Amino acid sequence: MQETIRKKFNELFQSEGSVYASPGRINLIGEHTDYNGGFVFPGAIDKGMIAEIKLNGTDKVRAYSVDLEDYAEFGLNEEDAPEASWARYIFGVCREIIKRGGKTGGFDTVFAGDVPLGAGMSSSAALESTYAYALNDLFSLGIDKFELAKIGQSTEHNYCEVKCGIMDQFASVFGKAGSLMRLDCRSLEYEYYPFKPVGYKLVLLDSVVKHELASSAYNKRRESCENAAAAIRKNHPEVEFLRDATMEMLNEVKDDISEEDYMRAEYVIEEIQRVLDVCDALQKGDYETVGQKMYETHHGMSKLYEVSCEELDFLNDIAKKCGVTGSRVMGGGFGGCTINLVKEDKYDAFVAEAFSAYKEKFGREPKLYEVVISDGARKLC
Ligand code: ADP
Ligand code: MG
């Protein structure tokens, strides 16, 4: 990939620039916990974006996307926003840096990536953090890493119409090979935990479906969580989010809230605890417990939070049947991938069975992505 980028850069700009990279991410456990003030547990992966960049001394950016075979040229003022959506990510990063008082200028760039688009591994965060990290370095801006992540997040909010949380950009910037990161979504404190599953593979199976329900269902889930937290707060004023609640507290208000709100809150309270349990297990190198918690998450997402779907439940059942250590739907739900922790000796049989059974049932094959937990944003050369 780097070779292709270098060749194209030379062809377009007759020179050579510096090369930066930034990864996509997975989330091992902790789903729908972010807006409840809880924990998420992401890690950067060995798939990401690579960009060659050279300052050009003008106030214009000239950018080429290898994967989309598209070229864009734009200035750095608010009214210069480019049309192409991929270019808006780069433009947005520049604008967010400028808004924070960073002195930037024009540059030439060529980039490419291998994070599958829209599969739940956050190719957009990989793109944003590549440029946030690179521009900070090239213009010697001295922006700290957390602010780089926020620059990516604000780019999505203000230039790409995606109201995302901070997890994706955080993981892409802070990632470390062989480590997952527990991020407290309320305080933004974080901690690294070892993730070196020797003898296991981490593999994503993409159901290749995306159901329409996703955004309205998401809003309804958030509402249920707020209802439950508000009911609990009457007895326990210290409960700001469900993160602060226990199952005992929830049971006190069981008759005051709907059955649906109760189920949603139960899932969230248990899921936040599962993240903590997985952290303990990882410190002991106990991957069997990690896997068991992943199955519990899937069950909760399917039966209590009701954000799974037939395809994802099917893939989860196959995993169980094939003796996969852990498996669950990853991301918000209603489509996308399952994430699977698989013993190496069970891997081939699992993949073969998943492909053939899924095809037989749904008429198409899932996609497979093996991932390794890797480093975050960095300069390559
Ligand atoms: P994801 O869940 O993968 O982040 P998004 O829809 O948030 O999916 O972001 C995908 C968008 O990011 C694409 O539409 C494109 O604009 C940009 N993008 C991602 N990867 C690439 C790439 N390799 N080349 C060009 N643009 C990309
Ligand atoms: Mg995205």
Which atom, in ligand 1's list, is nearest to the CA of 156? 7
Would residue 168 show up in a list of annotated catalytic residues for this protein?
A: yes
CA of 229 to the centre of ligand 2 (A): 29
Q: Is the CB of 375 under 6 A from ligand 1?
A: no
Q: Strand 378-379 vs strand 18-27: parallel, antiparallel, or unpaired?
A: antiparallel
Of 46, 67, 137, 168, the catalytic one is 168
Task: Evaluate if pTM is beyond 0.85.
Answer: yes
- Output the residue whose Cα is nearest ligand 1's atom 24: 67
Residue to mutate (ligand 1; options 8, 25, 49, 123; most atoms within 8 A of CB) = 123
**178, 202, 341 from 198: Cα distances, Å:** 11, 11, 11
Per-residue pLDDT of the chain (381 residues; tens, 9 = 90+): 999 999 999 999 999 999 999 999 999 999 999 999 999 999 999 999 999 999 999 999 999 999 999 999 999 999 999 999 999 999 999 999 999 999 999 999 999 999 998 889 999 999 999 999 999 999 999 999 999 999 999 999 999 999 899 999 999 999 999 999 999 999 999 999 999 999 999 999 999 998 877 778 999 999 999 999 999 999 999 999 999 999 999 999 999 999 999 999 999 999 999 999 999 999 999 999 999 999 999 999 999 999 999 999 999 999 999 999 999 999 989 999 999 999 999 999 999 999 999 999 999 999 999 999 999 999 999
Q: Is the CB of 353 under 6 A from ligand 1?
A: no
The distance in angstroms from the start CA to the end CA of the chain is 14
CA of 118 to the centre of ligand 2 (A): 7
Residue type at 353 in one-letter notation? E
C-beta neighbour count of 145 within 10 angstroms: 16
Structural tokens at position 221:
């889930």
Q: Is the CB of 224 under 6 A from ligand 1?
A: no
Ligand with minimal distance to 331 CA: 1
H/E stretch holding 7: helix 2-13
CA R_g for the chain: 22
**Which residues have C-beta within 8 Å of that of residue 260, sequence separation ≥ 6?**
224
CA 297 from chain centre, in angstroms, equals: 17
- Output the residue whose Cα is nearest ligand 1's atom 4: 122
Q: Assess contact for 224 and 265: CB atoms under 8 A.
A: yes
Sheet holding 190-194, edge to edge: 39-40, 179-184, 190-194
CA of 195 to the centre of ligand 1 (A): 27
- Output the residue whose Cα is nearest ligand 1's atom 16: 86
Residue to mutate (ligand 1; options 25, 66, 117; most atoms within 8 A of CB) = 117
Question: Of 60, 48, 45, which Cα lies nearest the Cα of 109?
Answer: 60
